[in-house]
Structure 1
Amino acid sequence: MFDHVQKLHAEYQELQQKLQDPVVFQDHTAVAKIQKRLAEIEPLMPLVRQYIDCTNTIQEAQEIQEEELKDIAQEEAQKAQQKLPVIEEQLKKELSEKDPLDERNVIIEVRAGTGGEEAALFAAELLRMYLRYAEKQGWKTELLDKSDAESGGVKEAIVHIEGIGAFGKLKHEGGVHRVQRIPETENKGRVHTSAASVAILPEAEEQDIEIRTEDLRMDTYRASGAGGQHVNKTESAVRITHIPSGVVVACQSERSQFQNRARAMEHLRSKLYQHQREQEAKERGDLRSAQVKSGDRSDKIRTYNFPQDRVTDHRLGKNFHNLPGIMEGNLDPIITVLQEERDKEMNS
Structure 2
Amino acid sequence: MVPPSPLQTFPEVSRPPQGVALRVPARMIMDKRSSRYDQAAVQTSDTESNVEAAKIRRQLKPLAETWERYRRLLQSIEDLKSHYANENDPELRSMLLEEQTDLISQLDTIVTDDLPGLLLPPHPAAELPVIISINAGVGGSEAALFVQDLSRMYQRYAEEKGWKGEILSQTEGAGAKGGGGLRECTIKFEKPPFLEEQEVYGRLKWESGVHRVQRVPLTETQGRVHTSTAAVVILPIYPDLPDAPLVDPKDVKTEVMRSRGAGGQHVNKTESAVRLTHLPTGITVSMQDSRSQHQNRAWAWEILRARLSERKHAEEVEARRSTRRSQVKSSGRSDKIRTYNFPQDRVTDHRIGLSLTGIQNVLDGPGLDLLLDALDTDLQHRRLQSLLEDDEDIEE
- Global fold match (TM > 0.5): yes
Find the aligned partners of 1:237 and 1:6 in 2 and give their Cα distance: 55
Find the aligned partners of 1:148 and 1:158 in 2 and give their Cα distance: 12
Match of 2:227 in 1: 193
1:5–1:48 contact (8 Å) kept in structure 2: no
Alignment root-mean-square deviation, CA:
3.2
Q: Does residue 1:280 correspond to 2:316, yes or no?
A: yes
Look up the SS of the partner of 2:310 in the other structure: helix
Match of 1:80 in 2: none
1:176–1:300 contact (8 Å) kept in structure 2: yes
Task: Write the mapping of 1:236-251 to structure 2, written as runs, cut at 5 A.
Answer: 236-251=272-287
Q: Does residue 1:135 correspond to 2:159, yes or no?
A: yes
Q: Does residue 1:158 correspond to 2:207, yes or no?
A: no
Match of 2:297 in 1: 261
Q: Per residue, is there more helix in 1 or in 2?
A: 1
Q: Does residue 1:290 correspond to 2:326, yes or no?
A: no
Distance apart, 1:50 and its partner CA: 6.9
Match of 1:319 in 2: 355
Unaligned runs of 5+ in 1: 9-43, 52-85
Find the aligned partners of 2:301 and 2:329 in 1 and give their Cα distance: 26
**What is the number of residues matched between the two proteins?**
272
2:167–2:186 contact (8 Å) kept in structure 1: yes
1:103–1:166 contact (8 Å) kept in structure 2: yes
Greater Cα radius of gyration, structure 1 or 2 = 2
Match of 2:207 in 1: 173
Q: Does residue 1:117 correspond to 2:151, yes or no?
A: no
Task: Write the mapping of 1:81-92 to structure 2, written as runs, cut at 5 A.
Answer: none
**Structure 2 letter corresponding to 1:113:** G
Distance apart, 1:254 and its partner CA: 5.0
* Cα distance change of structure 1 residues 209 and 290 upon mapping to structure 2, 3 Å threshold: farther
Look up the SS of the partner of 1:308 in the other structure: coil
* Cα distance change of structure 1 residues 220 and 301 upon mapping to structure 2, 3 Å threshold: same
Unaligned runs of 5+ in 2: 1-36, 38-52, 67-109, 192-197, 386-396
Find the aligned partners of 2:266 and 2:161 in 1 and give their Cα distance: 31
1:282–1:289 contact (8 Å) kept in structure 2: no
1:178–1:300 contact (8 Å) kept in structure 2: yes
Q: Does residue 1:346 correspond to 2:383, yes or no?
A: yes
Distance apart, 1:136 and its partner CA: 0.7
Look up the SS of the partner of 1:326 in the other structure: helix
Look up the SS of the partner of 1:127 in the other structure: helix
**Structure 1 letter corresponding to 2:185:** A
* Cα distance change of structure 1 residues 104 and 311 upon mapping to structure 2, 3 Å threshold: same
Distance apart, 1:325 and its partner CA: 1.4
2:125–2:238 contact (8 Å) kept in structure 1: no
1:335 to 358, 369, 372: 372
Q: Percent identity?
A: 42
Match of 2:255 in 1: 219
Return the TM-score normalized by structure 1.
0.69
* Cα distance change of structure 1 residues 156 and 288 upon mapping to structure 2, 3 Å threshold: farther
1:119–1:196 contact (8 Å) kept in structure 2: yes
Look up the SS of the partner of 2:145 in the other structure: helix
Find the aligned partners of 1:183 and 1:140 in 2 and give their Cα distance: 32
**Structure 1 letter corresponding to 2:278:** H
Look up the SS of the partner of 1:132 in the other structure: helix
Find the aligned partners of 2:328 and 2:127 in 1 and give their Cα distance: 17
1:209–1:269 contact (8 Å) kept in structure 2: no
More displaced stretch, 108-117 vs 238-247: 238-247
Return the TM-score normalized by structure 2.
0.61
State the Cα deviation string for residues 139-176 of structure 1 (Å, max 9, x = none): 00111111221132111111111124110110111000
Q: Does residue 1:183 correspond to 2:220, yes or no?
A: no
Find the aligned partners of 1:166 and 1:256 in 2 and give their Cα distance: 28
**Structure 1 letter corresponding to 2:251:** D
